[in-house]
Amino acid sequence: MSNRRNTPRRRKPMQPYLRLPAFLPVPLRARRDGWTPARQARFIGLLAQTGCVRKAAQMLGLSRESAYRLRRHPAAGSFIAAWATAIQGRTQPGWKFTRADRLPLAITGTLQPRMWRGIYKGAQRKFSNCALLAAIADLDRATAHATTDPLADPQVRALFGRFL
């Protein structure tokens, strides 16, 4: 018979600190019960915590099929990179944001899920000052050659409508 007090306690091995990459949330129509940017970040964090798509989606009250549908969205490039990092459990090269991602980076920013000892703790929104300055420089270049009111140009309005 063993004495339980004298036997050493077996502890769960410490999980490595996984740094999930910041990603641009997939732009979707706003729905109260849908994939909001905060839910997307929480899903990536829970996916890293559980390692199972079904469990992570179930913890959010969403379906596994809707998660895979979100993954197939044409603008989900950085979301897919964050998903792959969460599933594989090791940091991978970061997603390279393109010139087309400049305005979303400046206006909405990226979301970075935060983990602590393998447990999802929250998400942090990070804005890019470089992307904002580059967008302003693009606006400057687009309006430099204009002799009349540059804001009346439909091409400038289409590019920078949110700033104007």
Q: Residue 17 has what pLDDT?
A: 66
Are 111 and 22 contacting, i.e. CB atoms less than 8 angstroms apart? yes
How far apart are the C-alpha atoms of 102 and 108, rounded to whole Å?
Answer: 10
Number of neighbouring beta carbons within 10 Å of residue 137? 10
Are 135 and 102 contacting, i.e. CB atoms less than 8 angstroms apart? yes
In this structure, what token pair is assigned to residue 101? Answer: 């991602």
Taking residues 153-157, what's their average pLDDT? 70
Q: 20-75: per-residue pLDDT in tens?
A: 888 888 888 878 888 999 899 999 999 988 889 999 999 999 999 999 999 999 98
